Amino acid sequence: MPRSRNLSKNFLTTALGVAFLLLAVPAVHAQSTDVAGEYVCTEAHVAGKTVQCTAPPLSLKGDGKFELQGREGDYLVNGHWVELKGEVLKSRAKIEAGHKIVFRFTNKKGACEMIYERRVAELGKTNLS
């Protein structure tokens, strides 16, 4: 009987210790990247050459919706990627430092890269962030 009492006491002590640790350690939440905002294409590369970017602005709304030249759909942040899913447009772009979103794809001219930067409205002005 004394041995089973020690086991019960050890189990209870361990269970209380684990419960204390669970309450004392703050919960770890998945880090999400806030990409909502208005983006403009600031740079484009086609087949290794820098070209003027004439792409329309990209709007990523806080509710998970996007708009690009009248095309609309949903977007999802998946790690370091933004995935656009619409009826007409489906694409994926890499999230990079400096509030940049970079689309990379290949077309008939070769490898392409379009770099979008988030604009920040500040006291009536619109600047790149």
- Residue 101 is assigned to a structural domain of this protein: yes
Question: Which of left, alpha, beta for 6 (phi over 0: left; psi -120 to 50: alpha)?
Answer: alpha
Range of the domain at 106: 37-128
Number of structural domains in the chain: 1
- Residue 64 is assigned to a structural domain of this protein: yes
* Confidence category of residue 16, pLDDT binned at 50, 70, 90: very low
Q: What is the CATH number of the domain that holds 79?
A: 2.40.128.280
- Residue 1 is assigned to a structural domain of this protein: no
Rounded CA-CA distance 93/83 in Å is 7
Rounded CA-CA distance 28/30 in Å is 7
Task: Give mean pLDDT, residues 3-15.
Answer: 45
**% of residues, the chain, pLDDT over 90:** 58
Q: DSSP label at 9?
A: H
Task: Give mean pLDDT, residues 48-77.
Answer: 93
Q: How far apart are the first and last CA of the chain?
A: 71
Query: pTM of the predicted model, to two decimals?
Result: 0.67
- Residue 15 is assigned to a structural domain of this protein: no
- Residue 96 is assigned to a structural domain of this protein: yes
- Residue 29 is assigned to a structural domain of this protein: no
The pLDDT tens digits of the residues spanning 75-109 come to 999 999 999 998 888 899 999 998 999 999 999 99
Residue 36 main-chain phi, psi, to 5 deg = -60, 135
- Residue 7 is assigned to a structural domain of this protein: no
Does residue 9 register a pLDDT over 60?
no
Q: Which residue has the higher pLDDT, 29 or 93?
A: 93
Count of Cβ atoms closer than 10 Å to residue 82 Cβ = 24
**% of residues, the chain, pLDDT over 70:** 67
- Residue 62 is assigned to a structural domain of this protein: yes
